[in-house]
Amino acid sequence: MKGIFVQLLNVVAVRNVEKGEAALLALLLLLAVVVSSTSLPAERENTIFISGSTTVYPLASLWAEKYMEENPQVRVDVIGGGSGKGISDVSMGLVDIGMSSRDLKDRELQLHPSLKLITIAHDAVIVVVNSHNPLLDVLLERGISRVDLRNVYVVGNVTNWEYLARMDFNGDGWIAINETHAMDLSGAIRKPDGGYTYPLNLEIHVYTRSDASGTGETFAKFLGVHQERLLGSGQSGNLGVLSAVGGDELGIGYVSLAYAFDESVVPIPVDGDCDGVISEGEAVHSYEYVAEHIDLYPIARNLYFVVNVEALSDIAKDFILWCVDEDGGQQFVELAGYVPISSSEHAEVIELLSDG
């Protein structure tokens, strides 16, 4: 059908060019391109199109590979781009399934009430620093509080590692906060009246996400803002942040659990309740430890497939049901670095797709 329509457009365009209506030709050609690009998915039978979250991407790609091995007649195409892209794509019918590492926003639900979230795994957003950070041992012991993270990422008034570690590293009698303020050894914060030199060699290099990221939005929500308010050098995807922090001894960033235990970075505990103590649920000793305490971790979240239940194909439904089954996709969740869903969450997916 699309091919016939494009041919008709071309015929009309040629006739109008003969009349000298070049502007109409340009408009018709643009329309032909739009029709061609947006109609492609509908023409490819037995193909499931998935896009979105770079956090979910490794897991969905692994699932696609395993599912196609069991169902060679089906093709599953997975691309990244961020949670925002996945939600936008599925809402416009460009893909069958969107991937998201955040909840739907109120505006998204208002515009597209048929969109539904399907919990497919659990995750945590982990604060990481470079493995050669000069104050690493202190940071591992005391962690970083939510208030301090907010001051680094939102307010921007904490710019030095001395303050995060509460340590006079250079021995000048001051704990540097920023270029104009410091803490004296009694704990008072003020403008130093002399003898203070801001230690540039301990300046915090802040990294955040540049894309429409569920990870960024989850971290921002923990700090009481939206992602757009986060300060720092923007990096694309979890791998972008991981690369930036891993290559910068003074860097700080945040990544998904699956990326946090790379040898180039070290996960830092987050004192979520700001009580000065790293509790059992705030510790980040290992992937296995965080997974075991995921319900207590201060920046835990769900990972989702986003679907339009009114337009979901049978093969897409079958794929999703396989993904959430403990004998299907769930057996690969830990391999991808995430935490499997519960039996009750599995039952909720079955009920949702049965109703759809």
Q: How many domains does the chain have?
A: 3
Examine the domain organization and report whether 174 and 206 are in the same domain: yes
Examine the domain organization and report whether 198 and 95 are in the same domain: no
Q: Which two tokens stand for residue 325?
A: 């089954």
Find out whether 104 and 230 touch, Cβ atoms under 8 Å: no
Find out whether 339 and 288 touch, Cβ atoms under 8 Å: no
Amino acid at 30: L
Specify the CATH number for the domain of residue 249: 3.40.190.10
In a 3-state reduction of DSSP, which class is residue 97? strand
Examine the domain organization and report whether 164 and 268 are in the same domain: yes
Q: Which two tokens stand for residue 275?
A: 């009580």
Q: For position 194, what pLDDT does the model report?
A: 75
Examine the domain organization and report whether 316 and 190 are in the same domain: no
Examine the domain organization and report whether 155 and 248 are in the same domain: yes
Q: Which two tokens stand for residue 216?
A: 């960024």
Q: How far apart are CA 72 and CA 268, in angstroms?
A: 43
Alpha carbons within 13 angstroms on the beta-carbon side of residue 9 total 19
Examine the domain organization and report whether 248 and 349 are in the same domain: no
Report the relative pairing of strands 115-130 and 300-308 from DSSP bridges.
antiparallel
> Residue 1 sits in which domain range?
1-32
Model's pTM, two decimal places? 0.79
Find out whether 82 and 212 touch, Cβ atoms under 8 Å: yes
DSSP state of 102: S
Examine the domain organization and report whether 100 and 144 are in the same domain: no
Examine the domain organization and report whether 26 and 47 are in the same domain: no
Examine the domain organization and report whether 59 and 20 are in the same domain: no
Examine the domain organization and report whether 55 and 107 are in the same domain: yes
Examine the domain organization and report whether 161 and 25 are in the same domain: no
Find out whether 289 and 318 touch, Cβ atoms under 8 Å: no
Last residue in a domain, options 276, 300, 324: 300
DSSP state of 209: E
Q: How far apart are CA 94 and CA 142, in angstroms?
A: 47
Q: How far apart are CA 151 and CA 274, in angstroms?
A: 13
Q: For position 356, what pLDDT does the model report?
A: 58
pLDDT along the chain (356 residues), means of 10: 35 36 40 39 76 94 98 97 94 97 93 96 98 98 98 98 96 94 93 87 96 90 96 95 98 96 97 96 97 96 96 96 98 95 96 84
Examine the domain organization and report whether 132 and 276 are in the same domain: yes
